[in-house]
Structure 1
Amino acid sequence: MLIKEKLENLKFTNSEQIIVDYLLKEQLNIQYKSTSQIAKETYSSKSTIVKVAQRLHFNGWSDFKEAYLNELKYWENHHFEIDANYPFTKQDNLLKVAQKIALLEQSAIEDTCSLLDYATLKQAVSIIQKATYTHLFALSNNLLISQEFKYNMARIKKRVDVHTVQGEAMFEATLANKEECAIIISYSGETETIVKIAQLLHRKQVPMIVITNIGESSISKLAHCVLKMSTRERLYSKIATYANDASITYLLDVLYSCIFQLDYEKNSELRRDTSMIFEASRHTNFSLLKEK
């Protein structure tokens, strides 16, 4: 859940609610304000301000302030020209639909790229590179998206298993160890089955990379590393998961590409040699597609 949603929906004491109302009203204006200034403006105490931050599961005011400002800046700076939930209308012609989907998916990828930072990406790549084996946990269509990542990683001798059966996923999480790693994909970060798997992996000290929304969630709090998705779609009211799918595909492609780059020459040779063996029947008369 986003911080703004928590501020709007959680129940606070009367004294805490004064602070909450102030935060919702002032938003980015709090950037350069201290607890003393806010306490003075709201006729509150500094301890009440800290309590609000702790009610939202932050260690203190500074941690809350940083996360809240980052969230607000995301919404302010990342505008989609297309509605991610209903990107086209019944009046649009076929070509207009095609153009809008292209623009939406391009925007989702650019949005996701802007949420990446070097340190987090490096940590995620390091976790996968060091692991003897990578588990991938997801549900629904996210499982289908993940198969391409498994395919690509297998071509450079990196074992990834996408756990597709719900009961088996929990079983595999039980058997996992800290020499392995796990990638968990969940847009909400709160799906019961996924949360249970994350909790189990956390107890077993299995390094976890979580792909989820920009807000804080049950699984993001358990992760060693969080890769943030473009967060524009509602959970249910939408035509399809266009933006989510583009965002997840992009992040998995980035992880694969960064792993590939770690041993570029060797992996290039592996991809070429295996493709020539297993795809020997493929041929073309189109010069652009022919091997040099």
Structure 2
Amino acid sequence: MLLFERLSDQSHMTELEKSIANYFLNVGHHLDKKSSRSIASELFVSPSTISRFCQLVGYSGFNQFKESYLKDLKYLDSHFQEINPNKPFSYQDKNMSIVNKLSGLYQETIRDTVELMHHDSLQKATQLLINKQTIIIGSAGDTLEMAETFKNRMLKIGKSVQVERRTDNLFYQASIAGQHSCFILISYSGEVDGILRTAKILKERKIPFFVLTSYGNNKLSDLSPLSLFLSTREKLVDNLGNFSSLLSVSFIFDALYANIFSHNFDYNYNKKISMVRDYEKKRRSNNPVIKDGY
């Protein structure tokens, strides 16, 4: 969850805390030049009140809060200035107008996802998947379909992937898995109870895993030794179809598969082509663009 979402959720705040939260929601980039003492003076409160508020929303103090605030603000300013990821089209749009707006949404989502990727994190995740004999993926909802596509691709280069559709069985898998296994856990919110329980047992048993989740603090990323962040622009419910978050999941799986494939390119290419040819013996086309050369 981004800091700005926590500042906006004021249902459990006192009137004083709401006034401080609203100050931070509106101050924007000007916070860079401010101290807790100067803010306290503006709001007619003590500096310790500002520190306690920062602790209330999950930080050790004002300096850590300020660093996270400016980092999140930079992220939010980076993309999606001309399109709303929650409502990329309206009732007035039809046909090609919708297509063009979705095209813009897809482009922004990919750019956003790439900017959230870090070389070292991607490399660690790739190496983990290469080294482990069994890969188990757990999630809840539509992201399982992206996991199935990843599973099918990996199978054709000789890697065993299991997609566990039940969170109870995912937990049991984590409870009995050995060091030859690794897990990928997916949760956009990072707050799904069944996924969190699995992450906890994996951490306790020291079974390697990483997560695909939203950018910002959440319980799942706090538990995980490694996180690959999804484009984090959609509301959990108030959107037209989870276009952006699902695309981001799909893109990260594509990136993982491509990096694994590239690690031993010639071997994986020959293995995939050989296996597919053995099965697709009657698959033919007269279209010269898609026709295979054998």
TM-score when normalising by structure 1: 0.88
Change (3 A) 1:19 1:155: same
Report the CA distance between 1:273 and its aligned residue: 1.3
Give how far 1:220 is off. Answer: 1.0
The amino acid of 1:71's aligned partner reads: D
Q: Offset at 1:166?
A: 3.3
Count of equivalent residues: 292
Between 1:197-206 and 1:154-163, the stretch displaced more is 197-206
Look up the match of 1:209: 210
Q: 1:85 to 1:21 in 2, by over 3 A?
A: closer
Q: Following the alignment from structure 2 to structure 1, what is the Cα–Cα distance between the partners of residues 5 and 217? A: 11
Tell me, in whole angstroms, the C-alpha distance in 1 between the residues paired with 2:209 and 2:283: 39
- Within a 5 Å distance, the mapping from 1:118-157 to structure 2 comes to 118-157=119-158
**What does residue 4 of structure 1 align with?**
4
Tell me the residue number matched to 2:32. 31
1:206-238 residue CA offsets vs partner (Å, 9 max, x unmatched): 222211112211111111111111122222222
Offset at 1:256?
A: 0.8
For residues 239 and 21 of structure 2, the distance between their equivalents in structure 1, rounded to whole angstroms, comes to 31
Report 1:1-292 matches (<5 A). Answer: 1-9=1-9, 11=12, 20-33=21-34, 48-292=49-293
Partner amino acid, structure 2, of 1:4 = F
Q: Is the 8 A contact 1:149 1:256 kept in 2?
A: yes
Distance 1:14 1:160, change over 3 A: same
Contact 2:138 2:167 in 1 (8 A): no
In 1, Cα distance between equivalents of 2:216 and 2:159: 31
Residues 1:52 and 1:122: Cα distance change in structure 2 (over 3 Å)? farther
Q: Distance in 2 between matches of 1:27 and 1:261?
A: 42
State the identity as a percent: 30
Displacement of 1:71: 1.0
The amino acid of 2:255's aligned partner reads V
* Matched-pair contact (CA < 8 Å) for 1:211–1:228: yes
Runs of 5+ unmatched residues, structure 1: none
Does the aligned pair in 2 maintain the 1:16–1:48 contact within 8 Å?
no
Question: Which range is displaced more, 116-125 or 75-84?
Answer: 75-84
How far apart in 2 are the matches of 1:284 and 1:256? 27
State the SS of the aligned residue for 2:174.
Answer: helix
Q: What secondary structure does 1:221 align onto?
A: helix
Shift of 1:38: 5.1
Return 242-251 or 90-99, whichever deviates more.
90-99
Aligned-partner SS, 1:121: helix
CA contact (8 A) 1:176 1:204 kept: no
TM-aligned CA distance change 1:53 to 1:291, over 3 Å: same
Is the alpha carbon distance of 1:54 and 1:237 closer, same or farther for their aligned partners in structure 2, counting shifts above 3 Å? closer
**How far off its partner does 1:61 sit?**
4.2
Which segment is superposed worse, 205-214 or 57-66?
57-66
**Which SS does the other structure have where 2:146 is aligned?**
helix
8 A Cα contact 2:150 2:254, kept in partner: yes
Residue deviations 1:120-161 (CA, integer Å, cap 9, x gap): 212222222232321111112111121001111112222211
